[in-house]
Amino acid sequence: MLNFPLPRIDTDKKLQKLLLPYCRFKIGDIWIDPIGKHKIACIDSSDLKSISQLMDGKKAALAVHDPPYNFVAFEERETQKFILWSQRWIENSYRSLKENSSLYVWLGADQKNNFKPLAEFFLMMQQSGFASRSLITMRNQRGYGTQKNWMAIRQELLYYVKGKPNFNIEAEYTEIPKVLRGYYKIVGGISTDNFERSKSKNIRAGNVWIDVQQVFYRLQENVNGCYAQKPLKAMERIINASSKKNEIVIDFFSHSGTSLIASEILARRCFTSDIDPVFCEISLRRLENYRLNKKTGWQNSNPFAEEIAADKKLKNYLKEKYDIKPKLD
Q: Is residue 31 a contact residue for ligand SAM (CB under 6 A)?
A: no
Q: Is residue 39 a contact residue for ligand SAM (CB under 6 A)?
A: no
Quote the least distance from Cβ 314 to ligand SAM, whole Å.
20
* CA dist., res. 313 & res. 35, Å (int): 36
Q: Is residue 264 a contact residue for ligand SAM (CB under 6 A)?
A: no
Nearest CA to 59 out of 94, 89, 97 is that of 97
- The one among 5, 23, 31, 46 contacting ligand SAM by CB under 6 A: 46
Cβ(233)–Cβ(213) below 8 Å: yes
Angle of CA points 251, 286, 176, to nearest 5°: 70
Cβ(162)–Cβ(94) below 8 Å: yes
Q: Is residue 116 a contact residue for ligand SAM (CB under 6 A)?
A: no
Cβ(134)–Cβ(207) below 8 Å: yes
- The one among 229, 242, 272, 299 contacting ligand SAM by CB under 6 A: 229
- The one among 226, 250, 261, 270 contacting ligand SAM by CB under 6 A: 226
Q: Is residue 274 a contact residue for ligand SAM (CB under 6 A)?
A: yes
Q: What are the C-alpha distances in Å from 56 to residues 60, 95, 178? A: 11, 12, 46
Residue 312 CB partners (closer than 8 Å, separation 6+):
none
Nearest CA to 64 out of 127, 158, 156 is that of 158
Q: Is residue 243 a contact residue for ligand SAM (CB under 6 A)?
A: no
Q: Is residue 228 a contact residue for ligand SAM (CB under 6 A)?
A: yes
Region from 107-115, 191-199, 241-249, 250-258 binding ligand SAM, contact rule CB under 6 A? 250-258
Q: List binders of ligand SAM among 276-295 (CB under 6 A).
A: 276, 279
- The one among 66, 221, 264, 281 contacting ligand SAM by CB under 6 A: 66
Q: Is residue 219 a contact residue for ligand SAM (CB under 6 A)?
A: no
Residue 183 CB-half CA count within 13 A? 7
SS3 265: helix
- Residue with Cβ nearer ligand SAM (68 or 206): 68
- Residue with Cβ nearer ligand SAM (161 or 260): 260
* CA dist., res. 254 & res. 301, Å (int): 20
Helices of type H across the chain? 13-19, 48-55, 76-96, 118-125, 194-197, 232-242, 258-265, 277-293, 305-310, 312-322
Q: Is residue 121 a contact residue for ligand SAM (CB under 6 A)?
A: no
* CA dist., res. 309 & res. 307, Å (int): 5
Q: What are the C-alpha distances in Å from 228 to residues 8, 39, 223, 293, 318? A: 9, 21, 10, 24, 21
- The one among 96, 273, 299, 302 contacting ligand SAM by CB under 6 A: 273
- Residue with Cβ nearer ligand SAM (162 or 230): 230
- Residue with Cβ nearer ligand SAM (80 or 200): 80
- The one among 37, 162, 230, 237 contacting ligand SAM by CB under 6 A: 230
Total residues binding ligand SAM (CB under 6 A): 19
Quote the least distance from Cβ 282 to ligand SAM, whole Å.
9
| Positions in the binding site for ligand SAM (CB under 6 A) | 44-46, 66, 68, 226, 228-230, 252-253, 255-256, 258, 273-276, 279
